Chains A and B, each alone.
Chain A
């Protein structure tokens, strides 16, 4: 007996010794730090997302400065500064020096902070790879700048402040400086790529980026109005899973099952609650804490059978068609942009909304596959493109119908950029990496509809463009033969060739209008006529051939 207790104590000791650092080390692939390139990107992403969220919360147009300085091989100094609200002095140490502090984890609100586990992980990554402290400057508008230098005690998951002082300074904002190990890459999934995509979907933001080569990039503001703040909501009852229900039953303050349903879920009245409870054949007076497993299951089944009103959609804040169009135009300079913001929809009780943008031509690369930019709550998704529902929906759309070339169900080719934005209080990801949206049928359907809407707009543009070039081509053909006709007519009649030529040329210019109308009106007819004519020619040719072979015989 005694031995066993000792053994148990030993085990308990072992458990305690698993430090935050070890946890981080073991799970860094889930947190966005699996390799040097991605780690550097994750540090930038966490900080930029925080800055954007903070600015928007304060309703300030974001002004963000990002700098990466190469210190030596695979070692960078990363600096970010924003014009957000700043952080009150008391919170600074915990926000940066304690993992999972103040996380948005349990909040049902559309927000960026779903990537990684927050800025404190970057602080940890920095200290683990370089041994350096992170330096934070915070101004909340009281004329002071609080400066902290800190790292995390990996055993206790608590901040260790090595330097702290206050200086004077005006304005608001936060500045972070950290040294990290990383690898700087260009091209796809680079920091530039991430910042540019962020600029596309956050057109009210001004971003300045000084890259390790000393080159300054400006991603300028395209709109001066921030989207409205999304509201926080309660969970919606439809699509609730057993585990969640169980957890909610346990922590609720409701005294009976009816009030549990009406208070803990969004938009549910007593009538619907009664309906659910009668359907589940559960005693309505039952305390939520006393429900058996079977009763919970019956409740879930009844919920699935009951028609409930859709969740409110004021929890969603789309970027908007005009703003996305401006965002695409300013960053990528296509000749044409079509954008669509779909109406909110629901998957498994979660409201969501899809926004699609298509840019065509202009500065876009004509070679190869189209570029796809995926976003979840305005944050670019850079990895796992193939596994993502947004990509799948795009590949399953028939792009030939909208004037693009596409082989089977692949990504279409040509000078095209797609932006697909999913907004939701709860974006379902395929894995902890949070880089690919899971393939719920309701989501796929909405994305496809959005792509088709935008596709139709693009197709109208493309066919108009084609028509314009067709007309020019036709005019050119007509223009070409005029001198020949004029000189031949002149040879026969003795009339002045120049007169005929000038008259025909003048007539051609006057005909442009009618040429266009005619093409539209008679497109079909011309086609049919051409076809029969061709058939006839084939028939006649066949006859001639036969006669020829006869002759040979």
Chain B
């Protein structure tokens, strides 16, 4: 693995040792990942982490254990990188760093909820992504289309036109050095919130007919699905269109693909598609395509509350979005993309998507 990370870890550790030698309060400087250090970069149009740092001191009663945990995780990651162990999950790392503290009955980590935030800390301290530190999040996404990739871990050449009805699973790590795009003939990407919709498009070979890639992150997208989409957009210059449910949650899923999320703001720079467009559903589509009323569901209080929240986000300030959110409030119903089948099973395949893309009828 990349030795530059082991070098960085060693540098951090030596810094701490030097502080100890100088009788300073041993500390690590960590970018704050809390809401007050998250902002929307208007130029790059992504959610970003600010530069506010917090000092994690050892001789501070609230931080002592966290400090110890951070050093321990650094040591374990360092060891894994040096030994070139296969990529492991955050849960596996949790088990590797567990253990009873000497002369006590206290665990170094009580449960995974203690080690996960430390992993995020380490990512920002080393200014990298966990994927590059040999750590994986459980992947949860599929895609097919005219694209060929070489998996450098296994050495396999993957042809995503031949993935059958199950489609191609998005691996946990899709970084260039292990997952090399060899060829891409597809002209654009359609992202589907729902696996069920993606499934119909795959079975009907929508991607072949329109020469595109269809991808689903199965709901809120995981890290590798977002990373892959970013690479397709940035490296292959493919336009990206997103289809979600007609409800505030669907809108937000789109915005995460496009601008990133608050909780993983430090991840946005490397996983966001500011050029992505929103296909739908929109409130206007419901009328225009005469989506039957049997597929409408009443908006609940929690939905209205979410609409109000989203309306306030900096990245939803475009006029079109503000209007759409107001229309949704007035419309009083939400419509799941699964519900398109009430019109007809192939409606989304043969009518809705081709029509919307042809007319470039998108929200920004």
Contacts and interface: CB of A to CB of B under 8 A. Distances in A.
B220 A478 contact: no
A485 B62 CA distance: 16
Nearest to B38: A540
Contacts of B23: 503, 507, 510
A515 B61 CA distance: 10
A332 to B, nearest CB: 36
A483 B102 contact: yes
Given A484-B72, A495-B17, A507-B20, A543 B64 contact: no
Given A503-B21, A544-B263, A536 B108 contact: no
Interface stretch (B74-82, B142-150, B163-171, B184-192): B74-82
A480 B220 contact: no
A489 B34 contact: no
A519 to B, nearest CB: 9
Contacts of A547: 220, 256, 261, 263
B40 interface: no
A493 B10 contact: yes
A384 interface: no
Contact of A485 (B21, B67, B218): B67
Contacts of B154: none
Residue with the greatest number of chain B CB neighbours at <10 A, chosen from A489, A526, A533: A489
Interface string A208-235: 0000000000000000000000000000
B104 interface: yes
B59 interface: yes
Query: Which residue of A477, A492, A510 has the most chain B CB atoms within 10 A of its CB atom?
Result: A492
A503 B9 contact: no
A484 B249 contact: no
Nearest to B21: A503
Nearest to B103: A480
B357 interface: no
B43 interface: no
A485 B68 contact: yes
Contact of B64 (A477, A483, A495): A477
A478 B66 CA distance: 12
Contacts of B59: 478, 508, 511, 515
B45 interface: no
Contacts of B261: 543, 547
Given A491-B75, A492-B13, A551-B219, A543 B263 contact: yes
Interface in A488-530: 488-489, 491-493, 495, 500, 503-504, 507-508, 510-511, 515, 526, 530
Interface string A274-300: 000000000000000000000000000
B133 interface: no
B323 to A, nearest CB: 23
A367 interface: no
A539 interface: yes
A549 B253 CA distance: 11
Interface residues of B, number: 46
Contacts, number: 110
A282 B340 CA distance: 107
Chain A CB within 10 Å, residue with most, of B35, B67, B261: B35
Contact of B72 (A488, A510, A536, A544): A488
A488 B75 contact: yes
Contacts of A168: none
A470 to B, nearest CB: 9
A553 interface: yes
B36 interface: yes
Contacts of B62: 526, 530
A552 B249 CA distance: 11
With most chain B CB atoms within 10 A of its CB, the pick from A480, A485, A511, A551 is A485
Interface string B2-45: 00000001100110110011010010000001111000000000
B262 A540 contact: yes
B252 interface: yes
Interface in B216-242: 218-220
B64 A478 contact: yes
A552 B75 contact: no
Given A484-B101, A550-B219, A489 B16 contact: yes
Contacts of A551: 218-220
A515 B21 CA distance: 19
A242 interface: no
A537 interface: yes
A481 interface: yes
Given A492-B13, A547-B263, A481 B64 contact: yes
A480 B101 contact: yes
Contacts of A107: none
A551 B195 CA distance: 11
Nearest to B62: A530
B71 A489 contact: yes
B315 interface: no
Interface in A455-500: 474, 477-478, 480-481, 483-485, 488-489, 491-493, 495, 500
A536 B36 contact: yes
Interface string A345-370: 00000000000000000000000000
Nearest to B99: A484
Interface residues on A, range: 35 or more
Contacts of A474: 61
B91 interface: no
B301 interface: no
B30 to A, nearest CB: 13
Contacts of B34: 533, 536-537, 539-540
A492 B306 CA distance: 46
B330 interface: no
Interface in B41-71: 58-59, 61-62, 64-65, 67-68, 71
Given A510-B23, A543-B262, A551-B219, A484 B108 contact: yes
Nearest to B13: A492
A481 B262 CA distance: 32
Interface string B103-114: 110101000000
Contacts of A503: 20-21, 23
Contacts of B79: 491
Contacts of B253: 550
Nearest to B245: A553
A548 B220 CA distance: 7
Given A484-B101, A493-B13, A539 B67 contact: no
A85 B285 CA distance: 113
Interface string A239-264: 00000000000000000000000000
A543 B34 CA distance: 11
Contacts of B306: 546
A478 B263 contact: no
Contacts of B75: 488-489, 491-492
Nearest to A489: B13
A474 B65 CA distance: 12
A477 B249 contact: no
Contact of B74 (A481, A492, A495, A536): A492
A550 B220 contact: yes
Contacts of A552: 219
Given A485-B72, A492-B10, A536-B36, 17 more contacts: A474-B61, A477-B64, A478-B58, A480-B103, A480-B104, A481-B65, A484-B68, A485-B26, A485-B67, A488-B68, A488-B71, A488-B75, A489-B17, A508-B59, A515-B59, A537-B34, A544-B263
19 contacts: A477-B61, A478-B61, A480-B101, A480-B103, A480-B106, A481-B58, A481-B65, A484-B108, A485-B67, A488-B75, A489-B17, A495-B17, A526-B62, A530-B62, A536-B34, A536-B36, A540-B35, A547-B220, A553-B219
Q: Which 9 A-B pairs have the closest CB atoms?
A: A536-B34, A551-B220, A488-B75, A481-B68, A492-B13, A551-B219, A550-B220, A488-B71, A491-B75
Interface of B: 9-10, 13-14, 16-17, 20-21, 23, 26, 33-36, 58-59, 61-62, 64-65, 67-68, 71-72, 74-75, 78-79, 101-104, 106, 108, 218-220, 245, 249, 252-253, 256, 261-263, 306
